Amino acid sequence: MAEVAAVGGPEVAVGLTRKTPMKRGKLNPVNRKRRVSEFVRCYGGKARVRFVRALPCAACGVHDPAGCDNAHTENGGAGRKGDAETIISLCRRCHTKHHQSGWMAIGMTEEGRRRAAALTQELWEAYRGRGEEAD
């Protein structure tokens, strides 16, 4: 029988050892087609991600030489990311501030986010229309 010690809270069993090793569970298989289609739905493809990273920050206007983050302005509901049309470019500082304190911490209203996402989408369509998209 193992000793039971109360260490500042609920009783904890001390000195228990397993007689058999823990079994490693099976990993869930990856559905590669779904993963690729979800990436395209969420980000619009690798070329669009590179394009948005090259844009200046939609909140502060800083052009980060390391590239800005792709930030979704809306979610897709039930734990899903929003579609690619809802992405704006945020520098690392603004993106971190947004995650810590919300959109108002970086001065972006809902209408401002919508406009920035629409502008990003228009710029992407104009860029793509020039035939420079290469994945």
- Put simply, whether the predicted model's pTM sits higher than 0.75 gets the answer no
Give me the pLDDT at residue 30, please.
80
Please report which confidence band the pLDDT of residue 28 belongs to, taking 50, 70 and 90 as the band edges.
Answer: confident
In angstroms, the CA 109 to CA 96 distance is 17
Q: What is the DSSP letter of 11?
A: E
- 49 contact partners, CB below 8 Å, separation of at least 6: 43, 70
pLDDT in tens, 47-101: 999 999 999 999 999 998 888 999 999 887 777 888 999 999 999 999 999 999 9
Q: What string of DSSP letters covers 57-108?
A: PTTT----TT--EEEESSEEETTEEPPGGGEEEE-HHHHHHHHHH-GGGGT-
Give me the pLDDT at residue 15, please.
72
CB-based burial label for 107 (10 Å; 0-12, 13-18, 19+): exposed
